[in-house]
Structure 1
């Protein structure tokens, strides 16, 4: 059997065409999702800086490279797929910070879900690190069922799976943990 130059070219063109069809399949689903208004975000923002105020005083700032606003859904939320950095300012302008690789805020419930390298550094130098953390804004409560590590200003620390706390981090309930606690026995 003799293969001609024309058949070789025809085979190469067919191979390129089939390759292009299969390589576009992954992006085709993304394009379809963008064309469907029901699945599309109400808005997209890049390089955002949001400031939250209370009686004219800045109480928090939020920075993120990207935000998707899905407030048009039955269960509205805002998604921060490329991470988030938040600063909270107290009454005496003391600052606490929160960073995470991913964040989502559910408007209807007031629940915030932070994931990936979550780090909280409070104004009193308490440091919390974990892979996922939830904050219930309505109840002023923070909790997780994942691994976490907490270092307190007095040198105490805890490592374990799961805890819940008030948002000021002065009342904790640990599930499974190990660590060192410094107790001041002079207070009776």
Structure 2
């Protein structure tokens, strides 16, 4: 009888240990997210001045009063709800400045979505005015399918979209609705 009770007790402990062992799972990600709502940013930055470099040379400088970090989402992004100033530098350190009321930066695609009173001014004094503009950081390309006004040295062009490199050397206004010669005073 004593052997039988020890046998039952021993098997019971083994069964309990096995149950506990197999019920455990890796909850580290869940533990990291405790207290972080899925709708809330994982971080908030104030007075951001971020520089992007390539081979030790600054190629872009992003400035914003507030940045919200949503990199904890499946398709991570950062949001600049209070506007943004983005300076883009070419190989000769010539600056193109982009200003917008709002921006979203998608880290997986390196795409910047600029919205609201978007103004782009190149080092050659060309300017673009739009309500929304995308900047592909990898290709260094600006584009939109919304109405734009593009001012070059000689012309003011209105159209239904825009496609260009960051320096406006390959600038193209899509579906032109107005072309006006600029007169110097």
- TM-score for the superposition, normalised by structure 2: 0.72
Partner of 1:109: 109
Counterpart-to-counterpart distance in 1, 2:91 and 2:171:
23
Q: Which moved more, 1:133-142 or 1:105-114?
A: 133-142
Counterpart-to-counterpart distance in 1, 2:138 and 2:123:
21
SS in 1 for 2:93: coil
Deviation per CA, 1:64-110: give whole Å up to 9, x if none.
01000111110110100000011122232222111000000111122
- Cα RMSD, aligned residues only: 1.9
- Gaps spanning 5+ residues in structure 2: where? 1-34
Deviation per CA, 1:42-81: give whole Å up to 9, x if none.
2101111112222322222111010001111101101000
Counterpart-to-counterpart distance in 2, 1:71 and 1:176:
37
Alignment: residue pair count: 147
Partner of 2:90: 90
Rg bigger for which structure?
A: 2
Partner of 1:129: 129
- Is 2:158–2:173's contact at 8 Å kept on the other side of the alignment? no
Residue 45 of structure 2 is aligned to residue 49 of structure 1: no
Residue 127 of structure 2 is aligned to residue 158 of structure 1: no
Partner of 1:20: none
Query: CA separation of 1:59/1:107 partners in 2, compared to 1, >3 Å: closer, same or farther?
Result: same
Partner of 2:175: 176
- TM-score for the superposition, normalised by structure 1: 0.71
Query: CA separation of 1:62/1:75 partners in 2, compared to 1, >3 Å: closer, same or farther?
Result: same
- Is 2:96–2:167's contact at 8 Å kept on the other side of the alignment? no
Q: How does 1:24-35 map to 2 (within 5 A)?
A: none
- Gaps spanning 5+ residues in structure 1: where? 1-34, 183-188
Counterpart-to-counterpart distance in 2, 1:41 and 1:98:
25
